[in-house]
Structure 1
Amino acid sequence: MIHALFFALSLSVTTQDTLKAHSHLQVLSHDQLAGRKTGTLHASIAADYIAKQFQNAGLNPVFANYTVPFHYSSGFFGEKEAHNVLAASEQIANRPTVVISAHFDHLGTKGRHIYNGADDNASGVAALITLASLIAKQPNRKLNYLFLATDAEESGLFGAREFIKASPIPLSNVLININLDMLGVSKRNKLLGLYNAPSKAFIESLRTNIWHKDSEVKFTRGNGFYNRTIKNQRRRILDAGDHREFHRKRIAILYFGVGQHSNYHSQHDTYENLDHAFFDGSLHNIAKVISQLDANYQLLSRY
C-alpha cells in the first residue's frame, strides 16, 4: 500500500486547508445569500463564487465557462433556469474519471426566515472546493477528476439529471461518483459512507481495498438501507441525493453524509449550529478514501 500511494494521489488536509473550507462554508451559508434558492440572484452568486474557487485552484472549465446554464420544468407549464458548475483536473489519456459532486442550492426564505442550508449543503460544497484544490496540486494522480456543483437538487435532482443527459465525457468512462451531501452534524460522531455498484465484484473490491472495519467512516451497502424523513416516511438514502442519477446509469456511487437531523430543512441549519470538529474530521476521512481509491483503482473490478 505504501508503495502504491507514493506513486499516486496522496491528499493531506492541513490546518490551513480546513480554515479555507470553513471560510467557504461561511460564505455560502451567510444571510446575504438568502438560502441559495434555485432561480434566484442569490443562487447565481453562489454559482459564481464556486466557479471562482475552481478557477483559483487552477482547474479547467469543462465547457466554455465554469457555470453551465440549463432549464427544467417547474409546475404544469412553467420552466426555470438553473446553473451547474463544472471543472476538471488535467486529463490523463486512457484513465477512468471520478466525478465528485455536491449540490449548492437550498430552500431560500420563508417569510422573514432565512433557510441558510449550512449543513445542507454548504458543507458538501465547501468540502468539494477544498478537495478540488488539493487534487489540482497533485501531479501523481492516476485518475481523472471532474468536480460538479449541482443546482436544483432540492427541486428534484435536476442538476444531476442535466449532467447525465449532457455529460461532457462518455458515461462509460466514469469509474465512480462520490457525492457529498451534509457533512457537518452528527449526534453519533460518525460519518456515513453509502456505497453501491452494479456488480458484487466491484463492491467487494471497494470493501477490500478502499476501507477497512476500523475506518472512522461507517460504510453501509446501498440496497435496502433506509432513513426516516422528517415526515416519518421511509425513504432509501440511495434515492435521496444526486448520486441516484449516477446509480440509475449503472455507475458505482459513494455517498458521504450524515442523514437527516433536527436542523434539517429548518431556519436553524446555520454555520453556528454545525459541529465544526466533525466537519473537519469528515473532510480528512473523505480525503483518505479518495487517496486510497486513486492508488488502488486498477484493483477494482470493471463491470
Structure 2
Amino acid sequence: MRNWILALGIAATACATAGVGADSHPIDRETALSDLRILSADDMDGRGTGTEGAERARAYITGRFEEIGIVPAFEDYQHAFTYQRQGASHDGINLVGLIEGTADSDTVMIVTAHYDHLGNCGGQICNGADDNASGVAALLAVAADFVANPPEHDIYFAALDAEEVGLQGAAALVNDFPVDLDRLALNVNLDMLGYQTENELPAAGAFHYPFLRDRVARAEVVEPVILIQGYDSPEWGPNGDWTFASDHGPFHRAGIPFIYYGVDFHEHYHQPTDEYEVMTLDFFVGATETVLNAVRLFDSELDAIRDERDAARTARPTKPGMGQ
C-alpha cells in the first residue's frame, strides 16, 4: 500500500535508518541463501500443514537446528498440537529450540517464523519463498550467530506450523510454553523478508508497546534496508494494521510484547510465482542482519523490557489486544 499515510510513516521514522546502537553482525550469506533456496524448492511441495512436504521441511529444519547447536526446548524439538478447522480436527507440529544465556536472569525471549505455506494452488506448487521460507532462513541465521556469540538471556527459536490456517501453531505454543509466560518479555516474529524492490522493511508493534520504539530505532539497519515503524494501528488503513496478521498475534493476545519484521504485500504473495528465483537477495541478507542487530539489542535490555511491560500492565490492567 503506497499512500500518504505510508509517506508520513517513512518520514516519521527516518531516524531508524541511521543505524545506531548495537554493532552490526554479518551473517553467513551463502548458508542463509542455501536455506532459503532449499526450503522453497519444488520437493517441499509448498509445505502445506499435514503434508509430506511439511514433513520434509521439518526434517530439514531439525537437521539445521542440530547442526547449528540449538538444544531442544521440550523432550525433542517437536511440539505437536491439534486444532479445529472447518468442523474437523487437524494436527500440526512446531519445532522449538533454545539457546541458553550467560546472565543470571530468568527473563526469556522468543524468535518465531512459520515454516508452513499453502501447498498447491490451483494445481500448481506454491513454494512460498518469501512467505515464509525467508523468515525461517533468517531465524536460522540469527540462531547461528547467537550460538557462536551467546546471548545474555535464554532465547527460544520456533519454526511454527499452521500459520496459514489461522495462526494455529503460535496459539498452541502460547498455551503450552516451555516456561511460565510471565518470564517471556518479547516475541520477535519474522514473516516475509525475501522480496522488496523498494528495500522497505516494516517493523510493527511499538504502537502497542511504545517502550520498544526507541529500541527498534537504535538497532543498526543494514543496507539496502530502509526501516519503517508502523503497520500496527488503525491509522494505517483497513489493510495496514498487522497486529494479528501473523504469529505474533497470539503472543500479543497473551500480553507478550512483540516486534514483527516483514515486508508489505506484493505481486507474488500467495501466488505460484513466490519462488527463490525472484527473491531480492541483497535485501533479504540486509533484512536478516538488521533483525539480528535488533535481537542483540533487545537481549541486552531484556530485563528492562520486562519491567516496562509489567509497568504498562499495571497502568492498563486488561491484556493488550483483547477485544481489539
Question: What's the TM-score bracket when you normalise by the shorter of the two chains?
Answer: 0.7 to 0.9
Q: How does 1:156-195 map to 2 (within 5 A)?
A: 156-195=166-205
Matched residue count: 285
Which among 201, 212, 229 is matched to residue 203 of structure 1?
212
Pair 235,218 (structure 1): closer, same or farther in 2 beyond 3 Å: closer
Structure 2 counterpart SS, 1:237:
coil
Which among 262, 265, 279 is matched to residue 270 of structure 2?
265
Ranges in structure 1 where 5+ consecutive residues have no aligned partner: 228-232
1:102 maps to 2:107: no
Q: How does 1:96-245 map to 2 (within 5 A)?
A: 96-139=107-150, 141-196=151-206, 200=210, 202-203=211-212, 206=215, 209-210=218-219, 216-220=226-230, 222-224=232-234, 226=236, 234=239, 236-245=241-250
Which residue type is aligned with residue 13 of structure 1?
Answer: P
Give the whole-Å Cα distance in 1 for the aligned partners of 2:209 and 2:130: 32
1:127 deviates by 0.4
1:298 deviates by 4.4
Pair 280,91 (structure 1): closer, same or farther in 2 beyond 3 Å: closer
Which among 54, 57, 62 is matched to residue 68 of structure 2?
57
Structure 1 counterpart SS, 2:47:
coil
Structure 2 counterpart SS, 1:88:
strand
CA displacement 1:114-143 (0-9 Å, x = unmatched): 10000000000000111111111213x222
1:85 deviates by 0.3
* TM-score calculated relative to the size of structure 1: 0.87
Pair 252,79 (structure 1): closer, same or farther in 2 beyond 3 Å: same
Match in the other structure for 1:249: 254
Pair 133,204 (structure 1): closer, same or farther in 2 beyond 3 Å: closer
Ranges in structure 2 where 5+ consecutive residues have no aligned partner: 1-20, 311-324
Structure 2 counterpart SS, 1:122:
helix
Q: Kindly indicate whether the alpha-carbon contact (under 8 Å) linking 2:231 and 2:242 is maintained by their aligned counterparts in 1.
A: no
Structure 2 counterpart SS, 1:247:
helix
Which residue type is aligned with residue 257 of structure 2?
Answer: A
1:208 deviates by 6.7
- The root-mean-square deviation of aligned C-alpha atoms, in Å, is 2.3
Match in the other structure for 1:18: 29
Pair 199,131 (structure 1): closer, same or farther in 2 beyond 3 Å: closer
Pair 74,11 (structure 1): closer, same or farther in 2 beyond 3 Å: same
* TM-score calculated relative to the size of structure 2: 0.81
1:295 deviates by 2.5
Q: Kindly indicate whether the alpha-carbon contact (under 8 Å) linking 2:46 and 2:119 is maintained by their aligned counterparts in 1.
A: yes
Q: Structure 1 or 2: larger strand share?
A: 1
Q: Kindly indicate whether the alpha-carbon contact (under 8 Å) linking 1:238 and 1:244 is maintained by their aligned counterparts in 2.
A: yes
1:169 deviates by 1.1
Pair 96,197 (structure 1): closer, same or farther in 2 beyond 3 Å: farther
